[in-house]
Structure 1
Amino acid sequence: MLYLTRDDFPIFVPFGVIGFYRYLWYLIRITASFAYHPIPLPENPTYIASEDVTIIVPTIDAGEEFKEAAHSWLVGKPKEIIIITEEKMLGPLQELANAVDPERIRVLTVPYANKRLQMSHGIKNTTTDIIVFADDDAIWPPTLLPYVLACFEDQKVGGVGTSQRVKPVGDRMTVWEVLAAFRLTIRNIEISSSTHIDGGLPCLSGRTAAYRTVILKDPEFLHGFTHDYWLDKYQLNSGDDKFLTRWMVSHGWSTYVQCCKEAELLSTMKPNWRFLKQVLRWTRNTWRSDLRSLFMERHIWTIHPYVAYTMVDKLFNPFTLLAGPVLVSYVVYKSTIPVDKGGFHLPWWNVILSYVVWLTATRTAKLLPHLWDRPQDIIYVPAFILFGYYFAVMKIYALFTLHETGWGTRAGIGDPTAATAAADGNSSGITDDKVRQAPYQNLRSPAPQYPLRPMEIQVGQAQ
């Protein structure tokens, strides 16, 4: 790049070794994504939603969007939906449940608003073979459950995820929602390509993910899930989906993602600047989980080497991204110096204009899968470019603030330490006696001996 700038080349070409490396791997990802194929529906399915699926929804402030989401879940005919909330929200949520389907929706409570505590309570109260975790605003297509269940025909698969799109809160998307939609498009490409290349993925997104119940009822899992600490000091509440994904890898279970329209959910995002607080929380979770996967647990290196590579790449990504404008600033400075005194021949405005054109063209190319469906969003590409640099700075800031474990976007989230202490001190208040006495009652998979491994599960035939 600098060599061309020093020559008599008429324009500035902001492309060097780092750029060649990054675009080469992007081409690999996009090629693998096109080669990826979702698992088709079986002719004689082992699992049937009406017999084998419980949907668990941890929430504290579900509103009208919950009704739309719940109606979409019920179309798939699950056996039961369990809503887990804090005690003060029991009345409002019970009214919502009664308005939707009181026969199949059950509302349970925990002493504190704590997502992991709520999820574990739902696990203990589940009597079906498959658990599907869902956000209270996740809207499913009618075919989502059958396509998710199709992946469990492979008895080595322990967890299944889906692709996602953004549902606008208002009549049209705000710039924040478009930025979120851009990110989801890139994520859908990443998870489909990694699934195709080595069968792994960095995270089974908590917006909707399905797991075998026998894995989650493991007492070791339940304890680790609700007693998860960063550096043995800071207890974690968010990052539950990262924990679940790492558990699948460390315990020998395969995962799969159904990236197709039949299993593509709609989810709302923050339509204002609070979206940045969401991203900051997700970024901290990613740092903590990826560092654990790569350097503490280390199973990912041998089981999913391509996913391990993507994790390492993300560690350095903010620094390589910021290297671009730093180097361009240096070239602009050199362009203000006469050539006979060691400066570059191009005027500074040529360098800046060339850089802006290059960024716009390359970023637009990366977003083509999204722009194919929503060409009107092309006007937001400059905002996406600026957000990319902001995100790089945010990632570095997040790296140095991993001790901050607050939720960030929801008021009323309980302190995880207090919530866990309450659960440990009063387990009878959190787990139904019937479930505690017979945690595997009605499961077609017999009560296992832990620690559980994929080949140890036995599944009966669909009735």
Structure 2
Amino acid sequence: MASQVLPTPHLTLDPFFEVNTTNAAPITTAPITPAEQFNYILMTLFMVFFVFRYLRTVVSIFTWFSWSAIPVAEKPKYTSKDVTVLIPTTFKTPAELMACIKRILACNPAKVFVITSEANVHLVKDMCILHNFGQHNVVVLGVEHLNKRKQLLRAIPLVETDITVLADDDVFWPDEKYLDYLLAVFEDDKVGGGGTRQRVHRNLRTDWVNMLGISYLERRVWNNCTTNAIDGSISTLSGRTAAYRSCILQSDSFRYKFLNDTWRGRPLNSDDDKFITRFTYGSGWKIVIQPDNRSVLETTVEADFPGYQQQCLRWARAHWRGNFTVMENETYWRSLRMWWGLYAIYVSMWQTPNILCEGLLAGLLYGAVGSPSVAPHFWIALGCWIFFAKNLKMLPHFCRYPQDMLYIPVLMLFSYYHGYLNIKALCTMTTTHWGNKQLSEEEKPRVRPDQIPDLVRNAKDFVDGYHEPTPGHIVVGSDYFQVHPTDEDKIVDILYHDSVETPDCTAQGIDTAGDASVGADETDMGPGNVADLLA
């Protein structure tokens, strides 16, 4: 039987889906014009620069909200009795100094050294007696010329404890447990220095200058804490309060280099905290920030705008000089151990002033997409991001004080002005003195004899009347700076009145070694009590 060939069925397609391959025109795309190519290049540059500028900001957000506090060990290696506190002071604001000492003594350190000019040694001592600090182990030292480095070196050889804490004369520790949190960083034997978070004291009647100071330190602390949490790097461990192993500060190498530190041949009187940070890292030690909310100290800034502006200039000069010195003389900053700090600190420092960086972003965006009327969504997104980035680091403060959001326009405007100050500081780095401090004037006796009673009363009123809590800290009682009750008028009469002789402090356990008028060397207050002087 012959095989039968079946016919091939004819498939009829729906005309809608049928493709005519015989008469179809080839698919072509319009060529990219040179103008479009240029726009693509500008958009690419915009994205690259945007990521370069704001990567640090994005990473810091996750770091800030993900870090954890360093716990205090049940049996810590170091306690407050292993700490000596050094307070170099110009004695410019006696009331703040007394409040500072009181808060430090509440933490019960082994010893406190107060270093001032020789002309003011006895006045500082007498004011400490007035505030009943005689029962603590407080030592007042004098130097011939005010210089923070020389003031510190005056006391460092006398330290006998394992840990030395350097504190400015305008800082207020939150409570008696502050040192416990600070010392927790030294549970790691590789840690040579440590610090805590800081805030500028917010006045009850705050003003725009006070807010500028608050904003500056909030941003600074945010940057330091986030970079330190990632890889242990930090631009500067602030000298407002910093703890170091005493063996670091008492080494011969440290003393020589600290005293002979220069910038382009000019001796440096400022930048002490920059140097100590650099020396600690360069010696192979780690530096750690304790981020615990319970260890936030307070400080003050200049109350007037000209003074605050000079402070900003001094800080900016120290920033440039310190970073350049590290990049020239050290290697740790570019090591793999500090990979994030290399970008966040030393590369990103060139992103100033803000108006130039944001102007460059705006110019690139304009070239890529056109004006705001052509592509409004791009411009709105950029504007919202810049607004968010400029106020991000103030969010913790605004959560505590939402009424301060009224100052946002001022803070944003000052951020652009601060860029100008940064450029000015870069061009005047050879100015190495303390910009807002006339030290030669403050070496003289603080007041005339007839002004002493008013000075003492004002200082005591400040300390007695301070009722504001440290931000972020739960208040226990109503007065952070409560002092022992004393009969102020009798104390003033006994200590300062011309017709009354100076009391015999030696009999009360108070050593008045030397005379202030001829350069008092040391004043050691032992267990004496002001009440004994009134008997």
Check conservation: 1:112, 1:414, Cα contact below 8 A: no
- Secondary structure at the aligned position of 1:304 is classed as helix
Superposed CA deviations along residues 84-126 of structure 1, whole A, max 9, x for unmatched, are 0111111221112222312321100011000000011110121
Counterpart position of 2:167: 134
Work out the CA distance in 2 between the residues paired with 1:283 and 1:331: 31
Given the alignment, which residue of 416, 425, 438 partners 1:389? Answer: 416
Superposed CA deviations along residues 172-193 of structure 1, whole A, max 9, x for unmatched, are 2221221221222222222222
Work out the CA distance in 2 between the residues paired with 1:346 and 1:280: 40
Q: Does 1:90 align with 2:124?
A: no
Offset of 1:319 from its aligned partner? Answer: 4.8
Q: Does 1:185 align with 2:212?
A: no
Work out the CA distance in 1 between the residues paired with 2:62 and 2:393: 13
Counterpart position of 1:147: 181
- Secondary structure at the aligned position of 2:189 is classed as coil
Residues 190 and 327 from structure 1, CA distance in 2 versus in 1: closer, same or farther, beyond 3 angstroms?
closer
Work out the CA distance in 2 between the residues paired with 1:90 and 1:213: 25
Counterpart position of 1:405: 432
* Percent identity (aligned): 32
Counterpart position of 1:447: none
Paired AA for residue 70 in structure 1: I
Given the alignment, which residue of 346, 351, 376 partners 1:312? Answer: 346
Q: After TM superposition, list the pairs within 5 Å mapping 1:42-441 onto structure 2.
A: 42-49=73-80, 51-61=81-91, 62-100=93-131, 101-102=133-134, 103-142=136-175, 143-168=177-202, 170-231=203-264, 233-273=265-305, 274-302=307-335, 303-319=337-353, 321-325=355-359, 328=362, 344=371, 346=373, 359-413=386-440
Check conservation: 2:354, 2:419, Cα contact below 8 A: no
Residues 430 and 119 from structure 1, CA distance in 2 versus in 1: closer, same or farther, beyond 3 angstroms?
farther
- Secondary structure at the aligned position of 2:187 is classed as coil
Residues 307 and 354 from structure 1, CA distance in 2 versus in 1: closer, same or farther, beyond 3 angstroms?
closer
Offset of 1:80 from its aligned partner? Answer: 0.9
Work out the CA distance in 1 between the residues paired with 2:357 and 2:163: 46
Counterpart position of 2:471: none
- Secondary structure at the aligned position of 2:303 is classed as coil
Offset of 1:204 from its aligned partner? Answer: 0.7
Work out the CA distance in 2 between the residues paired with 1:152 and 1:291: 29
Work out the CA distance in 1 between the residues paired with 2:285 and 2:204: 42
Given the alignment, which residue of 19, 27, 49 partners 2:50? Answer: 19
TM-score (norm 2): 0.69
Offset of 1:270 from its aligned partner? Answer: 1.2
Check conservation: 2:225, 2:289, Cα contact below 8 A: yes
Check conservation: 2:372, 2:379, Cα contact below 8 A: no
Work out the CA distance in 2 between the residues paired with 1:55 and 1:345: 57
Check conservation: 1:114, 1:237, Cα contact below 8 A: yes
Offset of 1:365 from its aligned partner? Answer: 3.8
Check conservation: 1:407, 1:413, Cα contact below 8 A: no
Paired AA for residue 129 in structure 2: N
Offset of 1:316 from its aligned partner? Answer: 1.3
Offset of 1:386 from its aligned partner? Answer: 1.3
Check conservation: 2:353, 2:416, Cα contact below 8 A: no
Structure 2 stretches lacking a partner, 5+ long? 1-34, 41-45, 443-518, 523-535
Superposed CA deviations along residues 135-168 of structure 1, whole A, max 9, x for unmatched, are 1111002221011112112111111111001113
- Secondary structure at the aligned position of 1:290 is classed as helix
Superposed CA deviations along residues 260-319 of structure 1, whole A, max 9, x for unmatched, are 222110001112211111111011111111112123212221142222222223331105
What CA RMSD, in Å, does the superposition of the two structures yield over aligned residues?
3.3
Work out the CA distance in 2 between the residues paired with 1:255 and 1:321: 33
- Which deviates more, 19-28 or 121-130? 19-28
Check conservation: 2:351, 2:357, Cα contact below 8 A: no
Work out the CA distance in 2 between the residues paired with 1:30 and 1:354: 19
Check conservation: 2:194, 2:244, Cα contact below 8 A: yes
Counterpart position of 2:59: 28
Work out the CA distance in 2 between the residues paired with 1:385 and 1:344: 24
Q: For the pair shown, which has the larger CA radius of gyration, 1 or 2? A: 2
Work out the CA distance in 2 between the residues paired with 1:345 and 1:54: 60
Work out the CA distance in 1 between the residues paired with 2:372 and 2:409: 28
Work out the CA distance in 2 between the residues paired with 1:235 and 1:180: 28
Offset of 1:250 from its aligned partner? Answer: 0.5
Work out the CA distance in 1 between the residues paired with 2:440 and 2:341: 32
Residues 298 and 92 from structure 1, CA distance in 2 versus in 1: closer, same or farther, beyond 3 angstroms?
same
- Secondary structure at the aligned position of 1:108 is classed as strand
Work out the CA distance in 1 between the residues paired with 2:68 and 2:521: 40
Q: How many residues align?
A: 404
- Secondary structure at the aligned position of 1:252 is classed as coil
Check conservation: 1:192, 1:259, Cα contact below 8 A: yes
